[in-house]
A and B are shown apart, each in its own frame.
Chain A
Amino acid sequence: MTTILRTKGLHKHFGGVLAVNDVDAEFKANRLRSIIGPNGAGKTTFVNVITGKLPASSGTVLFEDRDITNRPPHRLVRLGICRTFQITSIFMGLTVYENVRIAAQSEMGGSFRIFSAKQSLKSVNKKTWEILDRLGLTDKAGVPSNNLAHGDQRLLEVAMALAGDPKILFLDEPTAGMSPAETEHIARLIKGLTDTVAVVLIEHDMDVVMSISDEITVLNQGSIIAEGPPREIQENELVKEAYLGHA
């Protein structure tokens, strides 16, 4: 199985606080890897450094064996590294359709056409509808995204990330604030994404994590304390200790 992305000795500190401490991780094609750990373990920071939201303090990020450390986000998206955020980040004033369309447009090109109508990019429109269909948002295409229910906004953000044609997709707590039914729906959907991309999932809902992950990485205080398939992680003493504290 091919490795898409790996980190080598990745560090990130804020002042004296070490948020990511010497992390070596590997992400493989068509696999779903969850990153779990107690609050403040450095999960989001780790993903922020990989995806270019924050600069690394030291260490390297390799994408298909190319060094991509500290490249700006828009370049990483072009390579196929896409993400969603813990706090929903969409274009609130625009329709659902336009949210996905603009993401597809910036991936497929055409942004520098100034004299044609924005609806005239045929292949972009086609892809937009495909993605909306895939995520079940077709009926809501014309709705301004600030009028969407929370769960649909989370889905929309996933749709926008998919429009960037990712090779690896980072999802930061996609089920946050969702009802159990919505959570089940999105969990199944996320699992389905691994047909085409590598998925990295930060998640607090252990039922979701244990049922859909291929592998799990456990972070604690910025370091990896365990790695392996779900069953192994459930049995791991270090992990139990990290979550429950010292007895």
Chain B
Amino acid sequence: MSKMDDRMSQAGSGKKTPYRLRIVALLILVACLALFPFVVTNRFYISLVNEMLIYGLLAMSLDVLLGYTGLLSFMHNAYLGIGAYVVGLFLIHISPSSLWLAILAGVAATSIIALPVGWVQVRTGGLAFALLTLAFGMMFYTIVWKWYDLTGGDDGLMGVPHPDIHLGGIVLGHSGSPTAMYLLTLSMVLICFLVTWRIMHSPFGAVLEAIRENEERASFVGINVRRYKLYGWMYACMLASVSGGLFILYRGYIGPTTMSAFAGAGVLMMVLVGGMGSLWGPIIGAGIFIFIQDYISTMTEHWELFVGMVVILLVLFMPRGFVGLGDYVTRFRKE
């Protein structure tokens, strides 16, 4: 190791868990999740974890915007919705068996819609940016709700076919089978996580972080801030549309409420509960959020009330979210 590299590693944040340990932890976690549907064969639990993973992916994509680029989106679920509707419509009207083509179409169509929206969005920052996401989100919600002939309006998009799931040459079953769908979701979320982690720690990711920290300084070190904000935005929307594709395959149905502002706030809470700026935090956050939602809704239909209280407590006492817990533990052990 040269002197330079040596100094490099000193300059990095040295308190983090060793690299190898983190990879081992990830492998164990993935192995457990992969074995889960074979150990717990109850299809309701499989579906529950499946939903956690799908929303985990959506929350992670919002983290790219919020935690890395510093842009607040109130309705990132809009892009899950657009992706889901496109994938559903593709399967219904064009090709009922082409799973990967449908997901590709979902990502492509979402990108085409997200590009002009992003072009407007990145001309703003801070509160104006956040309000614009709300405005565009409401617009998409209304379009989906009112365009009955295409989207099924209030009734939602029904009768989405279940294509076969090919994974590495093996047919796992069709998307209506909980285990096959679960394995598809798990692999997609894992791939998206690894790719996104790589990108966020690349020179490109460093530019996004610089923009998050100080937009003005970023432009005065030579960064074209608007352009990079647009790249970040596009990537976040594309990831969200992947989660949308998984969502429609898993549910076989989507209605406009999935794209409502209320649901958008839920996604934001997942990110905050999990802890932003870590990518894995929001996935945990989505797990916690959906677990609470599922658990409490068996007892009372007013589950939102309790989720709200949990979020208030978390924001007050764990401002950095679940991710911040690690710091508490380290500090505690030192004292």
- Residues of B within 8 Å of A112, CB to CB, are 203-204
Q: Shortest Cβ distance from B326 into chain A, in angstroms?
A: 17
Question: Would you call B199 and A115 a contact (CB within 8 A)?
Answer: yes
Q: Check A91/B213 contact, CB under 8 A, given A142-B13, A142-B14.
A: yes
Beta-carbon contact of A115 and B198 below 8 Å: yes
Are the C-beta atoms of A103 and B209 separated by less than 8 Å?
Answer: no
| Contact between A106 and B217, CB atoms less than 8 A apart | no
A98 located at the interface, meaning its Cβ lies under 8 Å from any Cβ of chain B in the complex: yes
Q: Which residue of B lies closest to A112 (CB)?
A: B204
A residues near B14, Cβ cutoff 8 Å: 142
Cβ-defined contact, A74 with B219, below 8 A: yes
Contact of A117 (CB < 8 Å), options: B201, B210, B228: B201
- Asked whether B206 lies within 8 Å of A105 as measured between CB atoms, the reply is yes
* Interface size classification for chain B: 20 to 34
Please give, as numbers and ranges, the residues of chain A lying within 8 Å of B219 by CB-CB distance. Answer: 72-74, 77
Q: Give 1 or 0 for each of B1-32: 1 = CB within 8 Å of chain A CB.
A: 00010011011111000000000000000000
- Contact: B4 with A164, CB < 8 Å? no
Query: Does residue B216 face the partner (Cβ distance < 8 Å to A)?
Result: yes
Minimal Cβ-Cβ distance residue in B for A160: B221
Partner of A142, one of B11, B203, B213, B223: B11
Q: A90–B214 contact, CB under 8 A?
A: yes
**Is B46 interfacial (CB-CB < 8 Å)?**
no
A116-131, CB under 8 A of B: which get 1 and which 0?
1111010001100100
B205 part of interface (Cβ distance < 8 Å): yes
Q: Which of A89, A98, A110, A111 has the most CB of B within 10 A?
A: A111
Q: Are B13 and A95 in contact (CB under 8 A)?
A: yes
Given contacts A95-B11, A125-B8, A142-B12, contact A118 B221 (CB under 8 A): no
Distance to closest chain A CB from B320 (angstroms): 13
Total chain A interface residues with beta-carbon distance under 8 A: 45
Contact in complex: A118, B225 (CB < 8 Å): no
A-contact 0/1 string along B183-223, CB 8 Å cutoff:
00000000000000011011111110110111011111111
A192-230 near B? 1/0 per residue, CB < 8 Å: 000000000000000000000000000000000000000
A119–B8 CB distance below 8 A: yes
The residues of B that contact A105 with a CB separation of less than 8 Å are: 203, 206-207
A111 touches B223 (CB 8 A): yes
A118-B202 contact given A89-B217, A93-B213, CB 8 Å threshold: yes
A239, CB-defined interface residue at 8 Å: no
Q: Are A74 and B207 neighbours in the complex by a CB distance under 8 Å?
A: no
**Residue B224, interface by CB 8 Å:** yes
State A98–B213 Cα separation when bound (angstroms): 12
From residue B76, how far is it (CB to closest CB) to chain A in Å?
A: 21
Q: A109 → chain B, closest Cβ, in Å?
A: 9
- The smallest C-beta distance from B260 to any residue of chain A, in angstroms, reads 33
B217 to chain A: closest residue by CB: A89
C-alpha spacing A113/B212, complex, angstroms: 19
Interface 0/1 of B67-98, CB less than 8 Å to A: 00000000000000000000000000000000
Residue-wise interface mask of A (72-104) relative to B, using a CB-CB cutoff of 8 A (1 in contact, 0 not): 111001100011010001111111111001110
A116 partner residues in chain B, CB cutoff 8 A: 202-203
Q: Is the CB of B203 within 8 A of A110?
A: yes
Q: Could you tell me the distance between the alpha carbons of A82 and B7 in the complex, rounded to whole angstroms?
A: 27
State whether B220 touches A77 (Cβ < 8 A). yes
> 5 pairs across A/B with beta carbons < 8 Å?
A82-B220, A89-B220, A91-B209, A93-B213, A113-B202
